[in-house]
Amino acid sequence: MKNYNKVSVTNEPRTELHDALGLTGAEISINALPAGASVPFIHSHKQNEEIYAVLEGKGYAVIDGEKITLNAGDFVRISPAAKRQFFASEDTAIKYLCIQVKENSLEGFTMTDAVV
């Protein structure tokens, strides 16, 4: 039995990696919005914070009523209770990665969790 899973993704509007990778501590999705499009709903979470990484393009998010400009290379962490919605700019598509994890669940990170 292997200690890893690998998957290749295509250019779908949304790809969820939870089942494909057998994730046990996070949810990861890759999302693409064409120019002028948006996620069709505003949402928040009960327990999970989200980390967004803009991979390509530009757009914006509205978080608790505040408009946040997003460009390739930007990372944003959003608390569970925050209400959020994502938009591509009017003239440019946006592609972003979303990582969802339980807030305050990290007990160690690379410097304290690595075994050498």
Position 116 pLDDT exceeds 90: no
Report whether pLDDT(1) > 70.
Answer: no
- Which tokens in the block code for residue 30? 């890759």
**Range with top average pLDDT, 17-26, 89-98, 101-110:** 89-98
Confidence of residue 11 (pLDDT cuts 50, 70, 90): confident
Q: What is the DSSP letter of 38?
A: B
In the chain, what percentage of residues exceed pLDDT 70? 99
- CA dist., res. 77 & res. 61, Å (int): 12
pLDDT of residue 113: 80
Mean pLDDT estimate for the chain: 94
Q: Give the model confidence (pLDDT) of 22-76 as tens digits.
A: 999 999 999 999 999 999 999 999 999 999 999 999 999 999 999 999 999 999 9
- Strands of 7-115 (E only): list them: 14-16, 27-33, 48-63, 66-71, 75-78, 84-88, 94-102
Q: Minimum mean pLDDT among 6-15, 62-71, 78-87: which range?
A: 6-15
Tell me the mean pLDDT in the region 96-101.
Answer: 97
